[in-house]
Structure 1
Amino acid sequence: MPSPPRIFSPHRRRMTRQRMLRLQTGVDAPRYLVDDMVDDVIERLGFLRHAPARALVVGDHTGALAAHLRGHGARVEEREPADGFDEEVPYPLGSFDLIASLGTLDTVNDLPGALIHIRQSLAAGGLAIVSFISSGSLPALRAAMLVADGDRPAPRLHPAVDVRAGGELLQRTGFADPVIDQRPLRVGFRGMDRLIADLRALGLANVLADPGPPLGKGARERARQAFAAAGEEGRTVETFEILTLSGWRR
């Protein structure tokens, strides 16, 4: 079987998440993405009336989902890619009734393999819920980067999975009763620099294996102006599209 293409740098990915964890210690650190994902998982579990006895939570640096699950009697293990947890190799952790992966699988090179490892680590009747940023995200920033680069655009923002590809992935990797949905989370910013700071604190900085050259001073200013022009009254609304894939092991 051929190796998957190397789109993302595992080293840059790990360093980016380590920086994210440092930045998240701040009182005003942005947590809106992971908070949204945690709330969504809790709502889904309630709707499905799925009460796991043993769960694995990957990527929730707030600890909120694990705390909720423990409050309902579950034994929970937590793992973080910044600490070396590799989602592209078989999980050595045993069988789980729930595996929730929040905001990490959009930057693995072997996404089908990672989903297979999740399914294989579920017990019979176990549920996987996987959420990450998907196609259609950051349209204002993408447009601003194109303006900044002019006729020679550089790779600056990640390629992303869309709803259709997400559904195909769940089917290919053997999940039963797959459910795929996408929801927007819109956030207003007073400037591009504020957005960039949030992206770093959210662990969404560039981890491409070939990230392209840095923006020069003039290009950065063109990007700032284009981003501001996309807004109204000094605020530009940016969109984060959150894709959630869920399925069962039968």
Structure 2
Amino acid sequence: MTSPGIFDRTQMRRALARASETLPATDFLIRHAADELADRLGGIRRDFERVADVGAHHGVMARTLSARFPGLAPVSLAPALPLAEACPKPAVVADVEALPLKEGAFDLITSALSLHLANDLPGALIQIRRALRPDGLFLAALLGGDTLIELRQTFMQAETETAGGVSPRVFPTADLRDMGGLLQRAGFALPVADAEQLTVTYADALALMRDLKAMGAANPLAARSRRFMRRDTLLRAAAIYAERFSGDNGRVRATFEIIYLCGWSPHESQQQPAKPGSATARLADALKAKR
């Protein structure tokens, strides 16, 4: 029997479809990531004609690219029909783990805050690399390991106190230290991975949870409890959050870590690492070190 994986992607698509009307009012993280990716693309002196955006949500990345780079019309690959309908055209429904992309068809592929929910991230990266032409560019943003760390700690304590045990509620996220290696394993050349942390404040923990629901970020874990959260657990979680993670103004903070990825489809024109033993100078001489 095949393992269902960490994420229940059917549940995830349903949650995103339900949130298609509320997502535009709560998409600040996606807009931030899209702007950052567009900034990075602006620093690259070359033209990109065929562009695809993987995990397109409701088209933020496509609109950002079209506004910043007139003439670009990215193909948006959204995870659910209501989201694809909200994207600028062309747009299709597609899962990040089964991308309907022709090999070598694109100059540029982007993804803004979708790939962290792939059960097989290496497999998704391989599909993306194969869909790029030689010397094609991949730019992506995904949530990192410190995302919602406050909420994770709060739920663990609240459920331990009120229910005598802990159930999975906050999904695991990528680790920056692993991402460069994953890009290399997927066949990308010149891989780069870096991260930033954003702190967002809310009136209270319940406001944060409402925002997450409006984003379509309902619990997507395959091992999640199918029962509704107990009222006493929810109220205790809100109290713990306020005790541990509130500022002087009474508002609570939430951390979001965003990891940015950059990789190129291999091409002979790219800079290549020197072969072992091919150096013509000693490191000690270059550093002017004493023997």
TM-score higher than 0.5 here?
Answer: yes
The answer to whether the 8 A contact 1:176-1:247 is kept is: yes
Partner of 1:57, secondary structure, is: strand
Structure 2: how far apart are the matches of 1:122 and 1:180?
19
Structure 1: how far apart are the matches of 2:61 and 2:5?
31
The answer to whether the 8 A contact 1:4-1:109 is kept is: no
Structure 2 residue aligned with 1:19: 18
- How far residue 206 of structure 1 moved from its aligned partner, in angstroms, is 0.8
Which of 103, 107, 113 does residue 97 from structure 1 map onto? Answer: 107
Structure 1 residue aligned with 2:281: none
Partner of 1:22, secondary structure, is: coil
Which of 126, 131, 134 does residue 116 from structure 1 map onto? Answer: 126
Structure 2: how far apart are the matches of 1:92 and 1:35?
25
CA displacement 1:15-57 (0-9 Å, x = unmatched)? 11112212125xxx12210111111111101112243111001
Partner of 2:169, secondary structure, is: coil
Structure 2: how far apart are the matches of 1:66 and 1:113?
24
Structure 2: how far apart are the matches of 1:10 and 1:183?
26
Structure 1: how far apart are the matches of 2:133 and 2:127?
12
Matched, 1:88 2:97: yes
Structure 2 residue aligned with 1:131: 141
Matched, 1:198 2:211: yes
- How far residue 64 of structure 1 moved from its aligned partner, in angstroms, is 4.2
Provide the alpha-carbon RMSD of the alignment. 1.9
Structure 2: how far apart are the matches of 1:30 and 1:220?
22
Structure 2 residue aligned with 1:246: 262
Aligned 1:1-250 pairs, distance under 5 A: 6-24=5-23, 29-70=25-66, 71-83=69-81, 84-93=93-102, 95-150=105-160, 151-212=164-225, 213-229=227-243, 230-232=245-247, 233-250=249-266
Structure 2: how far apart are the matches of 1:59 and 1:111?
13
- How far residue 67 of structure 1 moved from its aligned partner, in angstroms, is 3.2
Give the letter aligned to residue 181 of structure 1: D
Q: Which has the higher contact order (CA 8 A, sep 6+)?
A: 1
Whichever of the two has the greater Rg, that structure is 2
- How far residue 3 of structure 1 moved from its aligned partner, in angstroms, is 6.7
- How far residue 125 of structure 1 moved from its aligned partner, in angstroms, is 1.2
- How far residue 68 of structure 1 moved from its aligned partner, in angstroms, is 4.3
Give the letter aligned to residue 12 of structure 2: R
Structure 2: how far apart are the matches of 1:214 and 1:50?
52
Q: State TM-score, norm by structure 1.
A: 0.91
More displaced 10-residue stretch of structure 1: 128-137 or 53-62: 53-62
Structure 2: how far apart are the matches of 1:32 and 1:129?
19
Partner of 1:181, secondary structure, is: strand
More displaced 10-residue stretch of structure 1: 88-97 or 161-170: 88-97
- How far residue 245 of structure 1 moved from its aligned partner, in angstroms, is 1.4
The answer to whether the 8 A contact 1:8-1:108 is kept is: yes
- Unaligned regions of 5+ residues in structure 1, if any? none
Identity %: 35
Structure 1 residue aligned with 2:275: none
User: How many matched pairs?
Assistant: 246
Partner of 1:124, secondary structure, is: strand
- How far residue 62 of structure 1 moved from its aligned partner, in angstroms, is 4.9
- How far residue 204 of structure 1 moved from its aligned partner, in angstroms, is 2.1
- How far residue 186 of structure 1 moved from its aligned partner, in angstroms, is 1.1
Structure 2: how far apart are the matches of 1:92 and 1:118?
8
- How far residue 63 of structure 1 moved from its aligned partner, in angstroms, is 3.2
The answer to whether the 8 A contact 1:58-1:79 is kept is: yes
